A = this chain, B = another copy of it.
Amino acid sequence: MAKYSGALEAARLDDVFGALADPTRRSVIGQLGRGPASVGDLARSSPMTLPSFMKHIRYLEAVGLIHTTKEGRVRRCALDRERLAVVDGWLAEQRAIWEGRTDRLEQFVTSTDANDPRQEHV
């Protein structure tokens, strides 16, 4: 789960990409894309035991891709779409590099330290 001190955006990328690197977690994201659901609902489509499944839920929550609330004995999960934007941002940045323009789009998308005159690669 990557513990950076300064590079916030990089830490988020580590976390989010790491979260997406697992089929169970991607499946959860896919299901929550259709609307909120309880842990039990989500777990039903997975072959693993509940404690194991819960680890994935907590991982996703820690990373900020989902958030959960307890309602009675049920834990309801919902997607936090905006966290996925860092992926789009990174991809856009790469395309900007390929196309030789290291400027506006990238600046906009990775808006963590916008007052930093680009200079870090190599």
Interchain CB contact (< 8 A) of A88 among B30, B67, B108: B108
Chain B residue contacts of A29, Cβ below 8 A = 94
Chain B residue contacts of A33, Cβ below 8 A = 94, 97-98
Interchain CB contact (< 8 A) of A13 among B20, B41, B98: B20
Interfacial residues of chain A within 11-70, with CB under 8 A of chain B in the complex:
13-15, 17-18, 20-23, 26-27, 29-31, 33-36, 41, 44-45, 67
Judging by beta carbons under 8 Å apart, are A31 and B85 in contact? Answer: no
Main secondary structure of the interface of A (DSSP, over half): helix
Q: A17-B17, A20-B90 are in contact. List 13 more A-B contacts (CB 8 A).
A: A7-B23, A17-B18, A17-B20, A31-B122, A33-B94, A34-B97, A35-B118, A44-B122, A67-B121, A79-B98, A85-B108, A92-B109, A109-B109
Closest 9 CB pairs of A and B: A33-B97, A17-B21, A18-B21, A17-B20, A33-B98, A10-B23, A17-B17, A78-B121, A85-B109
